[in-house]
Structure 1
């Protein structure tokens, strides 16, 4: 009998440990009780939240914006673009198209945590009866580079994983820096992303973090509105007249991530339409100080995206 009681107590202790929770305040100012070690997470924003959690090794079971079979319902697949692996290979499913969530599917997944961005408070209210919802800031000026991933790591007990990822990344930065032209310390960069207009990237992505970690600082932008609320602070519009007058030490150009056409030829075609003759006027273009990047790979706030940017810069530096 005493042995039976001991076994029961051990089982109860194990159940308690598995269900252990903690009270936290998310970036929306909400008090949320979340699992200490979440086992089944649904990400409510693929590139900004889902990918950082996946890189940290957290078990993301579903992503907003994908179908039940895991296929993306958007024009782009950030999981494959950044990690080089399909959603099926990662064992991912989806919870429906943006604006058309399948609540029954969400319930069937039995998530123990859902994570989104602070702009998704209405969605958080919808899902709060299914699982706790933690909201992470992305848009404020204080959130730059890898800040989202670092904060998620702290909230969900993955600080050691993050530290290893960052240490490996810093070693890669040193390797690439050694391949760059030596000389002036005050080197500048300009990173632009082309949609239906030219936009300058702010420090919200792996691309810009890599450039700044290599020692570049952003070129001054005299006539630019340095904020674009539609892009969650990710980019700011840059008029074509200003663009062609700029002379950064390194010019990084990419097509918008909604475009299936990436690479040099596609970027040149779009820029030719928006700023005719840009490659004849810009000194960086004439002196071949241009890096053409794939925005799907480098635009997320992950260490993986920064490493993709480092690879592109190293390839350019060795030409």
Structure 2
């Protein structure tokens, strides 16, 4: 493998690992120049505006923002889904790609403005944004400085609230009408797959689980308060009793993988399969005793997409993968 491909793979792996963390990231705050802030505010005041209620209160934003900076991966998905190319976006690690699942042509021209949780305020200010989208959980400490640069809209958190966050982003972007079609298309996609599974009643009879092997950590069985968990809930499929609960994940060792028992298992791997204990676990006797394994209903999926695709575009691509594997097998 070439050095550039190796470097890209490393970025993707690091990004996928960081994407599942819903706690606020570190990073110091700093001041922006009063002149630049005043210039940005003056530009906002010259345009037609509307008020958005977000996690921080009421925010007056331009009706049609032209220069948008996004601080989280779900905000990037929202913007691209609605046909908006941001002028700036965060990366999970320095020099990492903004996304590996969103179309490359939709990301052209975007400038990096720091890593997630640690915004480069000077870089953001230099882009002269008229709107900044982020989350309170990661950026509350920077809110004052960001708001001095441009109107700043924060969701409360990321992950399982992705649909609510999308509605907030659409409102801030002045794209509420366009958002209705996106939601409608997703709901139609959900219905199509649920119907392929025999309808809600039949879908509920099948227990579906998601397993993630992680280099440097225990294996995770994903619960309901996750992006993946929310999609499974939308599909109205059944869930194993130990995973059909509030929370983020049930962490297990290879010796406890029997807790992943389900009729259907989707799984992904972050990092090296051996170091993540995927090879050891899936080659062991406990894995082979899982109902899904015995019935050949285990499906390995793209870790980067399923962990970073937090939005309607990402969710649609996940449904496509499910439709080709699980949905197709159910027909």
TM score, norm. by length of structure 1: 0.73
Where does residue 161 of structure 1 map in the other structure?
A: 178
Match of 2:122 among 78, 94, 104: 104
Where does residue 173 of structure 1 map in the other structure?
A: 190
2:137 is the counterpart of 1:123: no
Aligned length, in residue pairs: 278
For the 8 Å contact 1:291–1:312, the answer to whether it is kept is no
Q: Supply the distance in 1 between the matched residues of 2:158 and 2:186 (Cα, whole angstroms).
A: 24
2:316 is the counterpart of 1:307: yes
Q: Supply the distance in 2 between the matched residues of 1:107 and 1:73 (Cα, whole angstroms).
A: 19
Where does residue 288 of structure 2 map in the other structure?
A: 280
Q: Supply the distance in 1 between the matched residues of 2:185 and 2:126 (Cα, whole angstroms).
A: 38
Deviation at 1:86, TM superposition (A): 5.8
2:82 is the counterpart of 1:56: yes
For the 8 Å contact 1:145–1:204, the answer to whether it is kept is no
Q: Supply the distance in 2 between the matched residues of 1:270 and 1:210 (Cα, whole angstroms).
A: 26
Q: Supply the distance in 1 between the matched residues of 2:285 and 2:276 (Cα, whole angstroms).
A: 11
2:262 is the counterpart of 1:248: yes
| Structure showing greater Rg | 1
Where does residue 186 of structure 1 map in the other structure?
A: 205
Where does residue 249 of structure 2 map in the other structure?
A: 236
For the 8 Å contact 1:41–1:114, the answer to whether it is kept is yes
Deviations 1:190-217 (A, max 9, x none): 1122222222334466544443333203
Deviations 1:228-287 (A, max 9, x none): xxxxxxx3232235541443222111123xx4x6xxxx4997324467434322121121
Deviation at 1:135, TM superposition (A): 0.9
**1:216 aligns to what SS in structure 2?**
coil
Q: Supply the distance in 2 between the matched residues of 1:154 and 1:305 (Cα, whole angstroms).
A: 20
**2:205 aligns to what SS in structure 1?**
coil
For the 8 Å contact 2:281–2:287, the answer to whether it is kept is no
Match of 1:93 among 111, 120, 126: 111
Indicate how the Cα distance of structure 1 residues 85 and 205 shifts in structure 2: closer, same or farther if over 3 A, else same: farther
TM score, norm. by length of structure 2: 0.71
Deviation at 1:95, TM superposition (A): 1.2
Q: Supply the distance in 1 between the matched residues of 2:98 and 2:294 (Cα, whole angstroms).
A: 33
Indicate how the Cα distance of structure 1 residues 267 and 53 shifts in structure 2: closer, same or farther if over 3 A, else same: farther
**1:64 aligns to what SS in structure 2?**
strand
**2:236 aligns to what SS in structure 1?**
coil
**1:34 aligns to what SS in structure 2?**
strand
Give 5+ residue unaligned stretches, structure 2.
Answer: 1-42
**1:32 aligns to what SS in structure 2?**
strand
Q: Supply the distance in 2 between the matched residues of 1:55 and 1:251 (Cα, whole angstroms).
A: 29
Match of 1:40 among 55, 60, 67: 67
Deviation at 1:78, TM superposition (A): 5.4
Deviation at 1:63, TM superposition (A): 0.5
2:20 is the counterpart of 1:20: no
Deviations 1:77-131 (A, max 9, x none): 45232x23267x5321111345664433222210011111112111222222211
Deviation at 1:136, TM superposition (A): 0.6
Q: Supply the distance in 1 between the matched residues of 2:257 and 2:142 (Cα, whole angstroms).
A: 38
For the 8 Å contact 2:186–2:312, the answer to whether it is kept is yes
For the 8 Å contact 1:24–1:34, the answer to whether it is kept is yes
For the 8 Å contact 2:68–2:129, the answer to whether it is kept is yes
For the 8 Å contact 2:44–2:62, the answer to whether it is kept is no
**1:128 aligns to what SS in structure 2?**
helix
2:304 is the counterpart of 1:296: yes
